[in-house]
Amino acid sequence: MFGRYEIQKELGRGGMGMVYRARDTMLDRVVALKVLGEQLSSSEEFVARFSREARAAARLNHTNIVHVYDLGDVGGRLYIAMEFVEGRTLGAYLKPNERFREAQALVLVKEAARALAVAHEAGLVHRDVKPENIMVTTQGVVKLVDLGLAKEIMSAEEAQHTQTGHTLGTPAYAAPEQIWGRKDIDGRADIYSLGATLFHLVTGRPPFQAVTSAIVTMKHLSEPVPDPRTVVPELSEGLHVLISTMMAKERDERPPNALALIDDISLVQRGQLPAPRDAGGWSPAETYDGPAVPDPVHAPAPTLDSGQLRSLEEALASAIGPMAKVLVRKRAAAGLSIEALCDDLAEQIPTEPERREFLKRVAFFTQAQTAFTPPPMTPTGERSALRTGLRTAVSQKTTVPQMDARPASQATDAQLAALERALANYIGPLARVIVKKNFRMTPGLETLVSKLAAQIESETDRQKFLNDVKNLT
């Protein structure tokens, strides 16, 4: 026992302490319990850093971020009780000579960028973004974990009165300003690390490699970002440009914030190049005025007053947290119809039940014009596919063979297992997660197979997959 927590097993250990799977005997729930190491408990510096981690993470409430439940002290040792996540880290998937397909990697990184947008909006920088700190749950939800290095963003003026900072982060993914030990680290350092993570996902190796960490850090400072196509030639030009922009040596040349990065990723997913922009400083998300993701709906601009906008913000905030205000104002300014605006906002919500609840809460906005008909919860078209979990968009049209249109919920366990095995032949171990996630969200077997085929990057392989499963019914 550790206080009120029953230790079940050790999950891992790091520079600050140990992490255990434990049961909260008071609330009867399983948690991830992070305990400060004994050797650090007497250090005021480390205790302050450990406590800062808990306070920082507790301020964040978002589907893509691991939640903090409790902070306390047992026998002079501090602990944090956090949401226990069943799943695997991206690092665990990256076995030797294995990599993610481009479309998959872009979806994973896009979800991580959503988490970073929330953290940055709250004034926090993660400082250690890497494959091992991004998890995919058994439900297919991407989670940003280990805010142990999170630090409140410091202004340039404050930095002038502070000594040079410590280098934090993992050398293979650390931004140049972290390596230099600058104190005025902002969210663009996380964007750099996420770019290095993206490089690793699509090539199977970090962007810079060497026999020692010191040489790796020197390469981050002095060598140009490698072209991932030298490792995997079939990767797109857009991906190369995206990674180069994210990993620019000068942070003013990177996307100014995570929302701008999300827009850039969306462009690459559409087969386009990231939008060029002038170099500029770090800008809070709410002041970002970069290119919006094109929307296929062309309708008169909604006429919403400030009170209606606040109602939309509150409804969306219940699902995605403080980024709701930014998204509502930005999307409302895009000139969408009221129905299209509500549909667009619903697509920002990563889970199906929360999307349905949001659409119920905002139905009254369109009742004055027409009887409100919620958009179909099964996304249609490339743009919607890009916004839901681990599904990815493909530029080519795939012809799905005619199949039984029974609801996917009626599929047998044997059919689902067969789909998992068939998909795994083309995309690897993520097949199980993707099948389970799409099975819950897709109403018909034909549509389910179509969504699964969309995970496969090669048109030839997609057709092979469809042939593999056409006899399931």
pLDDT tens-digit map of 9-43: 998 877 667 889 999 999 999 999 988 777 766 77
Q: How confident is the model at residue 214 (pLDDT cuts 50, 70, 90)?
A: confident
Domain harbouring 60, CATH code: 3.30.200.20
Q: Across residues 424-451, what is the average pLDDT?
A: 71
Higher pLDDT, 274 or 331: 274
**Does 288 fall in a domain?**
no
Q: Do 390 and 104 contact (CB within 8 A), yes or no? A: yes
pLDDT number for residue 55? 76
Q: Across residues 162-166, what is the average pLDDT?
A: 38
Annotated active-site residue 70? The verdict is no
Q: How confident is the model at residue 170 (pLDDT cuts 50, 70, 90)?
A: confident
In total, how many domains does the chain have?
A: 4
Q: How confident is the model at residue 314 (pLDDT cuts 50, 70, 90)?
A: confident
Q: How confident is the model at residue 53 (pLDDT cuts 50, 70, 90)?
A: low
Of 24, 70, 128, 186, the active-site residue reads: 128
Q: How confident is the model at residue 404 (pLDDT cuts 50, 70, 90)?
A: very low
Same domain, 376 and 429: no
Last residue of a domain, one of 31, 54, 83: 83
Give the 3-state secondary structure of the chain.
CECCEEEEEEEEECCCEEEEEEEECCCCEEEEEEEECHHHHCCHHHHHHHHHHHHHHHCCCCCCECCEEEEEEECCEEEEEEECCCEEEHHHHCCCCCCCCHHHHHHHHHHHHHHHHHHHHCCEECCCCCHHHEEEECCCCEEECCHHHCEECCCHHHHCCCCCCCCCCCCCCCCHHHHCCCCCCCHHHHHHHHHHHHHHHHHCCCCCCCCCHHHHHHHHHHCCCCCHHHCCCCCCHHHHHHHHHHCCCCHHHCCCCHHHHHHHHHHHHCCCCCCCCCCCCCCCHHHCCCCCCCCCCCCCCCCCCHHHHHHHHHHHHHHHCCHHHHHHHHHHCCCCCHHHHHHHHHCCCCCHHHHHHHHHHCCHHHHCCCCCCCCCCCCCHHHHHHCCCCCCCCCCCCCCCCCCCCEHHHCCHHHHHHHHHHHHHHHHHHHHHHHHHHHHHCCEHHHHHHHHHCCCCCHHHHHHHHHHHCCCC
Last residue of a domain, one of 283, 315, 333: 283
**Does 251 fall in a domain?**
yes
Whether residue 209 is predicted with pLDDT greater than 80 in this model: the reply is yes
Q: Across residues 144-149, what is the average pLDDT?
A: 69
Same domain, 272 and 333: no
User: Which range marks the domain in which residue 198 is found?
Assistant: 87-283
Same domain, 167 and 256: yes
Q: Do 225 and 247 contact (CB within 8 A), yes or no? A: yes
Q: Across residues 74-82, what is the average pLDDT?
A: 86
Least confident of 267-271, 409-413, 416-420: 409-413
Q: Across residues 142-167, what is the average pLDDT?
A: 51
Same domain, 414 and 374: no
**Does 290 fall in a domain?**
no
State if pTM tops 0.85. Answer: no
Same domain, 232 and 358: no
Same domain, 169 and 249: yes
Q: How confident is the model at residue 440 (pLDDT cuts 50, 70, 90)?
A: low
Q: Across residues 443-470, what is the average pLDDT?
A: 78
> What's the mean per-residue pLDDT of the chain?
75
pLDDT number for residue 412? 74
Q: How confident is the model at residue 202 (pLDDT cuts 50, 70, 90)?
A: very high
pLDDT number for residue 385? 35
Whether residue 165 is predicted with pLDDT greater than 60 in this model: the reply is no
Last residue of a domain, one of 283, 312, 330: 283
Same domain, 378 and 448: no
